[in-house]
Amino acid sequence: MYNLLKGKRGIIFGALDSNSIAWKVAERAHEEGATFVLTNAPIAMRMGAINKLAEQTNSTVIPADATSMEDLQNLVDKSVEILGGKIDFVLHSIGMSMNVRKGKHYTDSNYDFTHKGFDISALSFHRVMNVLYNSNAMNDWGSIVALSYMAAQRVFPDYNDMADNKAYLESVARSFGYFFGQQNKVRVNTISQSPTPTTAGNGVKGFDGFIAYAEKMSPLGNATALECADYTISLFSDLTKKVTLQNLFHDGGFSNMGVSNPIMENFMSNFENERKEE
């Protein structure tokens, strides 16, 4: 490869299985010369195959509940110790909605579920940066990236309260990114990725429809998990040292489209069929 991350140290949250974007990021970071710690919640680790990834990438696994300040402090302290120095990059790839999992409609939310999902999916990003910032654990010109989705800006009805979580996530990136930039020149960004068939994504009702629609709407088609990993690596590298406070759309152009010819043709075909039936 290109040795874009040679000598850099990192923490990667959220690798569950080979479909995970975080899993692909870990593989690519390893190929580009980085050393890193892998972490996930203990329950997620039991469901996934993170130890296989650790063996593949010569990494250490440290379980951590991203809603626990104590766990996160332990994670950061041990990572600095194991890796032999301060951190250069962090990936936050965490998301979960209990309302989605339990089939609760957005207009009839269980607010205990809402709070739990918000804590895991969004507030955890603030917690992670809080610990890194106050522990002075990031190297100057480091990079922190969180994964988002454009439901933070537009309505996708079945994405439910995850849309709210992603909106908060992006706001945290901007607000905390300002202070991190001032203190350590650390840049903080979010990537708004195409709908991707990960384990988490597949839990959203109608997600296959999201994927098919975005594929027809995007001039370049949907971005894959591996392509997202490549983009993330570029943000971890020194090639993007002045990119910060951004929500970066990695979606084949979907975010700037009004309508595409394939979508319009499909709509008109359905419209004509409906008129004939009348």
Q: Taking all residues of the chain, what is their mean pLDDT, rounded to a whole number?
A: 94
Q: Give the pLDDT of residue 278.
A: 64
As a whole number, mean pLDDT of residues 80-84 equals: 98
Q: Which residues contact 201 (CB under 8 A, 6 or more apart)?
A: 195, 207
Q: Give the pLDDT of residue 204.
A: 66
> How does residue 35 score in pLDDT terms, banded at 50, 70 and 90?
very high
Q: Which amino acid is at 220?
A: L
Q: In what order do the strands lie in the sheet with 87-92?
A: 60-61, 35-39, 9-13, 87-92, 138-148, 187-193, 247-250
Measured CA to CA, the distance from residue 68 to residue 206 in angstroms comes to: 32
Q: Give the pLDDT of residue 46.
A: 76
Domains of the chain listed by start with CATH number: 9-277 (3.40.50.720)
Q: Give the pLDDT of residue 197.
A: 86
Measured CA to CA, the distance from residue 216 to residue 262 in angstroms comes to: 6
Instruction: Examine the pLDDT at 261 and tell me if it is beyond 80.
Output: yes
Q: Give the pLDDT of residue 274.
A: 72
Measured CA to CA, the distance from residue 43 to residue 94 in angstroms comes to: 13
Using one digit for the tens of pLDDT, what is the confidence trace for 174-187?
A: 999 999 999 999 99
Q: What is the pTM of this model?
A: 0.94
Using one digit for the tens of pLDDT, what is the confidence trace for 84-111?
A: 999 999 999 999 999 999 999 999 999 9
As a whole number, mean pLDDT of residues 6-28 equals: 96
Q: Give the pLDDT of residue 136.
A: 98
As a whole number, mean pLDDT of residues 13-36 equals: 96
Q: Give the pLDDT of residue 242.
A: 98
For 221, the token pair is 């088609």
Using one digit for the tens of pLDDT, what is the confidence trace for 197-245?
A: 876 655 666 778 889 999 999 999 999 999 999 999 999 999 999 999 9
CA angle 141/245/169 to nearest 5° reads: 115
Q: Residue 263, Cα to own-chain centre: how many angstroms? A: 28
As a whole number, mean pLDDT of residues 49-72 equals: 96
Using one digit for the tens of pLDDT, what is the confidence trace for 42-58?
A: 887 777 689 999 999 99
Instruction: Examine the pLDDT at 30 and tell me if it is beyond 90.
Output: yes
For 112, the token pair is 């205990």
